[in-house]
Chains A and B, each alone.
Chain A
């Protein structure tokens, strides 16, 4: 069991360095949207956000977000608030720990 406060290294292509601040800002905003939607009971919105996240995470090298994105999408789609809540909590835990390191995967 890993220390819940220890950083998680994300290897990102150096070409994308200029985009990372924007990407992380979008993710923080996204997390806020998810919490807000959960509070409203808007599971359809959670599904949509999960779908969007799933389409983006891997492309930026943030593959570790993909499973939870899928959970959000599925939970939201099935109307399962418990699954959504759990996934959102996990996301909230994970996001601050992500630490980007620039490594060319083709090098």
Chain B
């Protein structure tokens, strides 16, 4: 417990030193002036904090405005947490009010009474201890929070669900697609893929804020999920405002119908979108691609085709679906 005593009187410094030492305090520093005290003000512990736990400041030093000195200490970012007890013979309410306004936590009267001195010091040091403990807890809490956030992110990456919408994430999507595609290839069945994008989503976020944007994503995800029921179907969050749907055992015509149904389902949400360039509400664009895969075919062709179809849907004015079969079939134009 570093205690710094600042008083121009050597007699007072010695007096306080003796009283403090008798009371068991060990790290006692004495200074005859603010200038002499500067070396203590500048000292730092290994953690970069001040080693001082309390400052006793004489308000009646010649040539020094004690109140101003106190206020300066309170303005210093490192020292402001060190409690200051002023020592003064002026104990009118006005004088004390001035002292408290300057940031003093308490006062000790001159002539110095030992009991009064020790009582006030004990209180101030206890307060400092509490503050230090609180700050240590705050630091701990911050560390834990950061650790928690990192763990959460790791978990999300390992898990199969998207944190925000709670539907399958991209990782799940790709794993599912891989499985279903191979199965389709083995059985010679068609597999369809829908790539879906919320129209003018950036404008939605800019207009209504990110919380509303998150809510919109959740509601669209739920609407898409609800509209699909079969075990061979999967809807996942593919990207920021992108969703992917896998329809196993589904040829292009059926996939197109499903796409139109999904489009309607989102329109039925009736989420107002004043900044949409194609509607008064939130809408989606969909690219539909279908394939009867042959083992050895590149899987990416299906995703690519769906992506291009999505692009064309957007070009065609959004709020609709664009089907497109993969190369092996005759190009199908809607």
Secondary structure dominating the interface of A: helix
Task: Using A15-B18, A15-B22, A18-B18 as known contacts, say yes or no to A106 and B11 having CB atoms under 8 A apart.
Answer: no
Q: CA separation between A16 and B21, bound complex, in Å?
A: 11
Q: How far is the CA of A66 from the CA of B110 in the complex (A)?
A: 11
User: Is B12 a contact of A59 with CB atoms below 8 Å?
Assistant: yes
Given contacts A15-B18, A54-B89, A106-B115, contact A26 B110 (CB under 8 A): no
Query: Are A52 and B89 in touch, CB under 8 angstroms?
Result: no
- Expressed in whole angstroms, the minimum distance between the Cβ of A88 and any Cβ of chain B is 19
Q: Map CB proximity to A onto B5-49 as digits: 1 under 8 Å, 0 otherwise.
A: 000111110110011001000000000000000000000000000
The 0/1 profile, CB within 8 Å of B marked 1, for residues 7-51 of chain A is 000000101101100110010000000000000000000001001
Is there contact, CB below 8 Å, between A59 and B15? yes
Q: Which residues of B contact A26 (CB under 8 A)?
A: 10-11
Give the total of B residues in contact with A, Cβ under 8 Å: 19
Residue A63 CB within 8 A of the other chain: yes
Taken together as a complex, chains A and B put the C-alpha atoms of A19 and B17 apart, in Å, by 10
Contact B19 A15 (CB under 8 A): yes
Across the interface, do A57 and B111 meet the contact criterion of CB distance under 8 Å?
Answer: yes
Task: Name the CB-closest residue of A to B89.
Answer: A55
> Do the beta carbons of B62 and A19 come within 8 Å of each other?
no
- When C-beta atoms are compared, the residue in chain B nearest to A63 turns out to be B111
Asked if A59 meets B22 with Cβ closer than 8 Å, knowing A23-B11, A48-B62, the reply is no
Interface footprint category on A: 20 to 34
Chain A residues lying within 8 Å of B89, measured Cβ to Cβ, are 54-55
**A60 proximal to B (CB < 8 A):** yes
Residues of A within 8 A of B115 (CB): 106
- A52 surroundings in chain B (CB, below 8 A): 8-9
B127 sits at the interface (CB 8 A): no
Closest to A66 in B: B111
Is residue B294 contacting chain A, with contact meaning CB distance below 8 A? Answer: no
Chain A 65-94, CB within 8 Å of chain B: the 1/0 string? 010000000000000000000000000000
User: How far apart sit A60 and B15, CA to CA, in the bound complex (Å)?
Assistant: 8
Which residue on chain B has the smallest CB distance to residue A14? Answer: B22
B320 to chain A, nearest CB (A): 90
Bound complex: CA A54 to CA B111 (Å): 8
B114 close to A51 (CB less than 8 A): no
Query: Shortest beta-carbon distance, A49 to chain B, in Å?
Result: 11
Is B112's beta carbon under 8 Å from chain A? yes
The CA-CA distance from A56 to B112 in the complex, in Å, is: 8
Q: How far is the CB of A15 from chain B (nearest CB, A)?
A: 5
Closest to A54 in B: B89
CB contacts (< 8 Å) of B111 on chain A: these are 57-59, 63, 66
B14's partner among A19, A51, A54 (CB-CB below 8 A) is: A19
Asked whether any CB of chain A lies closer than 8 Å to the CB of B60, the reply is yes
Determine how close the nearest CB of chain B comes to the CB of A32; give it in whole angstroms: 16
Which residues of chain B have a CB within 8 Å of any CB of chain A? 8-12, 14-15, 18-19, 22, 58, 60, 62, 89, 110-112, 114-115
The 3 closest A-B pairs by CB, nearest first: A58-B111, A59-B112, A59-B111
10 contacts between A and B (CB under 8 A): A15-B22, A16-B18, A22-B11, A22-B14, A26-B11, A51-B60, A55-B110, A59-B111, A60-B11, A106-B114
Given A58-B112, A59-B112, A106-B115, 13 other A-B contacts at CB below 8 A? A15-B19, A15-B22, A16-B15, A22-B11, A23-B11, A26-B11, A51-B62, A52-B9, A55-B58, A55-B89, A58-B111, A59-B15, A63-B111
